Structure 1
Amino acid sequence: SLDRMRDLATVDDADLRGRVRLGIFTSMDIVDLTGVLRRFRQRHPLVAVELMTSPSGTTGLVQDLVAGRLDIAYTGLPAVPAGVEVAPLREMPFRVFTSADHRFAGRRSVSLTELADEPFIDTAHGFGNRIILDAALERLGIRRRIVAEMNDMPAVIRFASAGLGVGVVPDSGVRHDGTVLELEDAVDPLRIGLAMRTSPEPNRAVRTLARDIVAARVDVVAQAG
């Protein structure tokens, strides 16, 4: 998918113009998006970039993409519909977030079975992390009690750190005042990617911005290595 995005974006794009509707998460830094957009605007002032979000998280973004209301979008879904390709951007493992005085706070790890009777804080239905965790809990036969649903993962971590419940969400590096524990269960990580429809073929402005976003992720990985 990364190679295809690079191939689709041409080098001769000095006169690039048009509109790109990009679906994003406002609460997580997947790549240095502000930097990408600033450089993109400097190079392509005739392209209008519109940023959009969805109250149902990644599910809503992908639905908008398939329906043609978005041109490219972040996604964290375990699977995407046919006709959508995804270039990987970031992978985040699930961890357990609690208050500093929680009964499990002194431990290094905990299982979902041990957390079964705890009040949970989680994101709303439709978020990729919620879909992944719900599937893992269903496999274990665990029915949990959710006391608060948030529209972003950092809010889950903040409320869990305050002692209002436990949060089992991907670790995005958000600063918090509570405790973080490893999750003992084998839960797939949240894999964030950039989704694009394969048909009809996106215009050159869409392809170029998609290439720049994916390249920003690759640059970060290269620097870390």
Structure 2
Amino acid sequence: MNVTLRQLRVFQAVADSRNFSRAGDRIGLTQPAVSRCIHELEGQLGLKLVNRTTREVELTEAGRSLAGRLDRLLDELEIALSDVQGMATQRRGKVRVASSPTLSANLMPACIAECQRSHPGIQLVLLDRIQQDVLGSVRAGEVDFGLVIDPGSPEDLHGEVILSEPFCLVCPPGHRFARRRSVPWRELTGERLVLLDHASGSRRLIDLALANHQVRCEVVQELGHPTTAFRMVEAGLGITVLPALALHAAELSALCVRPLTPRVDRDVMLVHRRNRALAPVVQTVWNLIRDVVATVPVDLPAMRAPGSARHAG
């Protein structure tokens, strides 16, 4: 069966007007063209749809059955085509983005809010996952793209850096580093460290920085979330190294934050499968996240001390 949309629209016009000439006037076809379309449709269906008289067209039982369902079907088809056209013109659609927890908490809420404001026809769906699961979701095509910490140089992914932020030291107020304005990486030698585990995108970069500065220290705890690391530091179990985005004043009220020198940054990236062009609606969200994140201030919390968000001591 090879029924065309044109044949169905012609039949709809004939069913409504009960006259070939009036149907032709309505849809811009001649009476012979209307008659030909109806004949072709009947041939495809193997059923007679109309009985022709000298003045009027009468629907057969099959014609009445088709006409009774056709309005709804064509309306639904028009809505579906409109939705697809909206995707092509970047106005409508669902975009799925995976992001690791720290980035989800600190960057994505503003991005989702801006998407709702500036592109109300686009639904931005966030999957909050650890870094390796984010990368797996991108590779499997489960999401349109991901927001991650620089994963290195995987050959199967294309990435764009949208933010760079420094690693900082967090220690108790009684620690010797609390009296310093900054702390060299090399002076971490001999310290007990509480670090994020290897599921975090940051851990690879922290280990690399420690190795590059020939730091020899004991990692006493490996944890999945910065908040847990803060509580460990408060309990006197060690000190920690975390990226600036993870440092919230409310969670650090009893701790000191100092910049590490020389400055070592982690890159936040958008990634998608290489050699897969983004659909226009997906590209719209990609650009939106890049632009919103570009406005995020990433400062060195060098003077933060217990009891104040910014301190000059």
TM-score class, shorter: 0.7 to 0.9
The residue correspondences of 1:203-214 to structure 2 (distance < 5 A) are 203-214=279-290
Query: Is the 8 Å Cα contact of residues 97 and 161 (structure 1) preserved in structure 2?
Result: no
Residue equivalent to 2:10: none
SS in 2 for 1:27: helix
Please say which of residues 192-201 and 206-215 is displaced more in the overlay.
192-201
Letter in 2 for 1:207: Q
Distance apart, 1:121 and its partner CA: 0.9
* 1:120-131 alignment, distance < 5 Å: 120-131=193-204
Determine the structure 2 residue equivalent to 1:200. 276
Preserved contact between residue 96 and residue 169 of structure 1 (Cα < 8 Å): yes
Look up the match of 1:60: 133
Q: 1:148 to 1:192 in 2, by over 3 A?
A: same
Amino acid aligned to 1:208: T
Deviation of 1:78 after TM superposition, in Å, equals 5.4
Counterpart in 2 of 1:104?
177
Provide the C-alpha distance between the structure 2 equivalents of 1:67 and 1:214, rounded to a whole number of angstroms.
23
* Residue number among 23, 39, 52 corresponding to 2:98 in the alignment: 23
Matches of 1:80 and 1:138 in 2, distance apart? 20
CA distance in structure 2 between the partners assigned to 1:80 and 1:145 by the alignment: 29
TM-score (norm 1): 0.76
Does structure 1 retain, via aligned residues, the 8 Å contact 2:89–2:281? no
Q: Residue 237 of structure 2 aligns with which residue? A: 164
1:183 corresponding residue in structure 2: 260
Write the distance in 2 (CA, Å) between the matches of 1:112 and 1:84: 32
For 1:88 and 1:110, how far apart are their aligned partners in 2? 27
SS in structure 1 of the partner of residue 180 of structure 2: coil
Amino acid in the other structure paired with 1:23: A
Report the CA distance between 1:86 and its aligned residue.
2.5
Which structure has the larger Rg over C-alpha atoms? Answer: 2
- 1:45-92 Cα offsets, whole Å, 9 max, x none, are 4x553322333x3x4322331232332111212523124332333221
Correspondent of 2:149 among 69, 76, 83 = 76
| Sequence identity percentage | 22
**Whole-angstrom CA distance in 2 between matches of 1:219 and 1:114:** 33
Could you tell me which runs of 5 or more consecutive residues in structure 2 were left unpaired when the two chains were aligned.
1-86, 298-313
> How far did residue 155 of structure 1 move?
3.8
**Are the aligned partners of 1:121 and 1:159 in contact in 2 as well (CA < 8 Å)?**
yes
**Separation (CA, whole Å) in 2 of partners of 1:215 and 1:150:** 31
Q: Which residue of the partner structure matches residue 187 of structure 2?
A: 114
CA contact (8 A) 1:23 1:61 kept: yes
State the aligned residue count: 205
Q: Judging by fraction of residues, say which structure has more helix.
A: 2
Q: Is the 8 A contact 2:100 2:148 kept in 1?
A: no
Kindly indicate whether structure 1 or structure 2 has the higher relative contact order, using CA contacts under 8 Å at least 6 residues apart: 1
Residue 219 of structure 2 is matched in structure 1 by 146
Q: CA deviation at 1:139?
A: 3.2
- Separation of aligned partners in 2, 1:217 and 1:163: 35
Taking only aligned residues, the RMSD between alpha carbons, in angstroms, comes to: 2.8
Alignment of 1:51 with 2:126, yes or no, is yes
User: 8 Å contact 1:162–1:178 — kept in the other structure?
Assistant: no
Change (3 A) 1:110 1:167: same
Where is the strand percentage greater, Structure 1 or Structure 2?
Answer: 1
Mark the CA change 1:116 to 1:60 in structure 2 (over 3 Å): closer, same or farther: farther
Counterparts of 1:35 and 1:168, CA distance in 2: 26
TM-score w.r.t. length of structure 2: 0.57
Distance 1:86 1:161, change over 3 A: farther
Q: CA deviation at 1:98?
A: 0.2
Q: Which residue of 1 aligns with 2:90?
A: 13
